[in-house]
Amino acid sequence: MTPIIRPTDDKVFAEKLIRQNMSGYYEQLNMRWDTDLFDRQWGELDSYALVINASRVGLLCLNHDEDAYYIRELQIAPPWQRQGLGTTAIRFTGETAQQAGIPLLRLRVFCINPAIALYQRMGFRVLKTAKGMHAMERRIL
């Protein structure tokens, strides 16, 4: 099952999905959600909804500079996790970066997040670890 990946400006959907998926990590790491920070950063991102059968099942938020495309959010609704949607979103990001002539994909992920295994399968490697987060990178060109 391949989702349609389409631009979205639905900040309410995005915040709800991110908070739902990340609340356990925030709790474990004694962190609090910062709505003001989310509001400030939202406008700086290229955001996409992953859609299956007209239902939004995921979120992909990107930005880039001349060196890399940055995956800022990759969130899949729990009932749809482990079905290849994250892989599809990463491939979409790689194709987008390649079309722009940008050679790298980068992301940050909590060290306790099992999605690290997906990122490693997709060719990302850990560049550094600090404050409970891995900075990861993958070359695409």
The residue extents of the domains of the chain are: 4-107
Closest CA to 14 of 56, 69, 63: 56
Is it the case that residue 8 has pLDDT exceeding 80? yes
- What pLDDT, on the 0 to 100 scale, is given for residue 104? 97
- What pLDDT, on the 0 to 100 scale, is given for residue 116? 96
Is it the case that residue 141 has pLDDT exceeding 80? no
State the pTM of this model: 0.94
- Average pLDDT over the chain, rounded to an integer: 94
pLDDT digits (tens, 9 = 90+) for 31-57: 888 999 999 999 999 999 999 999 999
CB-based contacts of 46, cutoff 8 Å, min separation 6: 7, 61, 62, 63
DSSP 8-state code for residue 80: G
Q: How far apart (Å, rounded) are the C-alpha atoms in residues 28 and 22?
A: 10
The verdict on domain 4-107 having CATH code 3.40.630.30 is: yes
pLDDT digits (tens, 9 = 90+) for 57-90: 999 999 999 999 999 999 999 999 999 999 999 9
CB hemisphere CA count around 140 (13 angstroms): 23
Is it the case that residue 11 has pLDDT exceeding 90? yes
- What pLDDT, on the 0 to 100 scale, is given for residue 60? 98
Structure tokens at 131: 């404050």
- What pLDDT, on the 0 to 100 scale, is given for residue 31? 86
Q: What's at 118, amino acid-wise? A: L
